A and B are shown apart, each in its own frame.
Chain A
Amino acid sequence: MAIDIQPDRAEAPGGRGPGAPRPARAWWLRPAIHTGIIGAVLGYFLGHWLGNYIASGYTQVVNSGQNDFAIILGYVLGTVGWLAGLGVFNDLGRQIAGRPVHAAEEAQAASSGLARYFRYSLDHKVVGIQYLVGMIGYFLTGGLLAMAIRTELLSPSYHVFSSATYTAIVGEHGTMMMMMMSSIILGPLGNYLVPLMIGSKRMAFPRIEALSFWLTPAAYIVLLSGLMFGGFPFGWTGYAPLSVQATQGADAYAVAFGLMGLSLILLGFNLIVTIICYRAPGMRWSRIPIFVWAIMTTSFLMVLAAPVLVGAMYMLITDRTVQTAFFTDSLGGSSYLWQNLFWFFGHPEVYILALPGFGIVCEILPVFCRKPLFGYRVAAAGMVGVTLLSFFVWQHHLFDSGINPDMRPVFMLTTELISIPTGFIFLVGLGTFWKAKIRFTVPMLFALGFYFNFLIGGISGVFLSDVPADTTEHGTFFVMAHFHYTIMGGLIFAFMGGLYYWLPKIMGIRLNQTLGKIQFWTMFVFFNSTFLPLFAVGMAGQPRRVYTYARSLETLNDWVSISSFLLGVSILIFLANFVYSTVITRVREEGNPWRSRGLEWQVASPPPPGNFARVPVVLSGPYEYGVPDAPPVADLDPPLGVLSNADASVVAEGAEA
């Protein structure tokens, strides 16, 4: 053996046997958020000092009065310090040093208590809840920024914020939402539920999964810190050369987006490997829940598209610091390079946002229609089709940019074609409604809201895909209304539905259903009253990201702003419900309240550590409602040797750590 392991000897006085559990240290001595913060602060100051040491004499730094080197190095080393303080590199260090890695005992010791949620935990269920709380926090921050935007747009002549601050707020809102909400379903619900849904006791790469989460608070803090430097004036799309020209806030944007891109890659990679390799025996591709199909296709999008984003951000950083000229036309670069790189990521990004919503809705519908999902194969094919096609449509964001005119009919074709697989979701939904027995529970209400909103969002997308019509619609509030309908009306409604549906499983408590119905109706009504008029506002000539507009549009903008404040109130109702139900009242919800056939519902709520006592053998699909004499979805206590050539210990204990 190349690695020389010195096991503890049981015979030596004070020694422990090699398999004995380590003594638990006090909570403040084990790495957690507090050590992470210390590491982050130390790393930031180190990086900042290093940047000043290197670059403070450069002419560009002296004249411009800002040292981008120091800021970027500070952020990067701060993130490294944050991760190191959390203990992310500890196991890696141990393996490099040839020392034993005690992952199993750590997992056992960390199976209870609140403290594990503040640690670098290898339990996928803990990571799922960490993601959930994180994502809700990021969403609320983005929502506050949206309230600020609509406050400014109440009047075209009286300005609450200066033009610079308003543009910075718009950029922060957009970037916060687009960055963070990419993981809003895959992070919490994907990480938590996928192993349960496929019959696995664990994820393929727990450390990578936890790392993908702990990068998100770093990205969030870095992005918000941009506000301290005056923000960035180019929105979430970061078009160069404006982004090269901008002041310090742009560094926050580039680093935050790069970190989040890394998080997306890691998150997706882990999910793909888990879904492909960790399915229980009998969990054929035709039996995996449609939610898992959605997660898998979304993960492929993340893994394939996010690297392009990270590369583009890196090029932006080098353009801003070491004077490369990727995006400067007069020096041999091209402003089109940024646009193409960004949108090559940017378009799959919006499908990263849309597909998980499809998955949740397809999961909820059969349960509350008490019917199998209509056209399971069609639904799965639709998701795969969307994933494939989404890499071929990105230039529809550039129809008026001066791209080669020949390309525009090509991309119009691919964009029109992608609406075919996107439409499958409606076929599946409408088919599931046929002769069903529809129960209007809170999750079902959100799924129905999803369908209504996504219909409007999707149809408006067809209007945008038509190049002549896009000439008027591009860069206006029409586009804004379109993507808010598909992303907020689609993804966020589905997220809420999924939360109401799965929270009894995840936490073993139920959210208050009355508050849930109030939240749904207020959210639905005010969401539509906010965003439907924006189609008209855009067609009437108001461009995006403007702090002032034509006086004739003031009434419409006021209506939209007031509606958006009420929409914010409905989100607060959600927050109140969530906090009230999980912290204050904590009404226990055991078992399977929705009478779902899903495999995740066949174990206790919340699931025990290791999910299943033994790896189950899957006997049928999860949508066999109404099928007479349908076998149960899985045998949770399979006899050993049930599969010939199966290793009994594998079935009993699951795959080795």
Chain B
Amino acid sequence: MLIGARLENFRAGARWWLVSLPARVATLTVAFLAVVGGVIFVVAHYLLGGPPTVDFTAASSGQVNMTMQSDASSNPAVVPDHPTWVSYFIKSPATGAWVHTTLFQVPAHTRINVTILGYDGSTPVRNQVWGQVSGTIGDIARYGKIPVRTVNGWNGPFLIQHTFAIPSLNLSVPVEAGPATCTTGPCTNNAHSTTTFSFVTPAQPGAYRWQCFVPCGLSFLLGNGGPMQTIGYMTGNMQVVS
């Protein structure tokens, strides 16, 4: 009877503050908790997420071998977000599986031997400065077995598909263009190019960003959008731990 009367009041839009004090406090508390819950959800889901970090710090031989591949586009089953974007993959040292990430962790003051399998075709670099190998051991990189120092990405004889550059270490290596493009990354059986180089990680721990300098973001203005600006595709972080 009382509840019916209250409902009638409510339906008629009666003055809500005649609702009792405990009811008001309860409603406020519920609303407050809902807002806090919403904020935590947004932060956890949208702000703190990100691709996984491949950990190379367990290497015991004093050197780290890292294998990556670059693909023209990815298999939507493996990469549900933006499968049409060019992307790097990193091979996990523990499991040997290809992980869709550009974040990796290495020990400080260690030699890193990098092998990049290139499954993408050529895109010319905009600024030819990035066709020069710098910051590696011996200042060279190898395309297959051939050592290269300066690559003309516009005219050849070697063509470039991407670069791997860590600007704060002055490391920049152009990655050779593959003989064909593979569009269902991560790829294993297709024809590809092989670029190898080595560098030494610095003593100071921290996050060192790395990026590609070839504007390969197709259908973005001047090629620099999309995968070029999204961590997990063509740019990422090298975390150096002591």
Contact = CB atoms under 8 A, between A and B. Distances in A.
Complex A–B touching at CB under 8 A: yes
Interface of A: 26-27, 59-66, 112-116, 144, 148, 157, 159-165, 169, 227-228, 230, 233, 241, 244-247, 328, 330, 579, 583-584, 586
Contacts of B146: none
B128 to A, nearest CB: 18
A26 B13 CA distance: 9
A63 B82 CA distance: 9
Given A162-B50, A164-B230, A233-B229, A114 B13 contact: yes
Contact of B15 (A60, A113, A584): A113
A169 B39 CA distance: 14
Nearest to A586: B17
B1 interface: no
B33 interface: no
B221 interface: yes
27 contacts: A60-B219, A61-B219, A62-B84, A63-B84, A64-B218, A64-B219, A64-B225, A65-B83, A65-B85, A65-B226, A113-B13, A115-B13, A148-B47, A157-B207, A159-B207, A162-B237, A164-B229, A165-B47, A169-B47, A228-B46, A233-B229, A245-B220, A245-B221, A245-B222, A247-B225, A247-B229, A583-B17
A247 B25 contact: no
A165 B44 CA distance: 12
B206 interface: yes
A579 B82 CA distance: 44
Given A227-B42, A227-B46, A247-B229, 9 more contacts: A65-B226, A113-B12, A160-B48, A165-B48, A241-B222, A245-B220, A245-B225, A246-B229, A584-B21
A583 B209 contact: no
Q: Identify the 7 closest CB pairs spanning chains A and B, nearest first.
A: A113-B13, A63-B219, A64-B219, A245-B225, A65-B84, A60-B219, A63-B218
B89 to A, nearest CB: 17
Given A62-B84, A246-B225, A583 B47 contact: no
* Most interface-central of B15, B17, B224 (chain A CB within 10 A): B17
Contacts of B221: 241, 244-245, 328
A161 B83 contact: no
Q: Is the interface of B mostly helix, strand, loop or mixed?
A: mixed
Nearest to A319: B221
B11 interface: yes
Interface residues of B, number: 38
B30 interface: no
Nearest to A579: B28
A569 to B, nearest CB: 15
B66 interface: no
A365 B28 CA distance: 35
Contacts of A246: 225, 229
Given A112-B13, A113-B13, A114-B16, A247 B230 contact: yes
A315 to B, nearest CB: 14
A161 B48 contact: yes
A112 B14 CA distance: 8
B160 interface: no
Contact of A27 (B11, B39, B219): B11
Nearest to A166: B47
Nearest to B17: A586
Nearest to A240: B221
B24 interface: yes
Interface string B1-44: 00000000001111111000100110010000000000100110
Interface string B149-166: 000000000000000000
B231 interface: yes
Contacts of B207: 157, 159
Contact of A64 (B12, B15, B226): B226
B192 to A, nearest CB: 22
A112 B15 CA distance: 7
A584 B220 contact: no
A144 B225 contact: no
A81 B50 CA distance: 34
A583 B229 contact: no
Contacts of A230: 230
B182 to A, nearest CB: 16
Contact of B82 (A59, A65, A163, A244): A65
Interface string B191-209: 0000000000000001101
Interface in B210-241: 217-222, 224-226, 229-231, 237
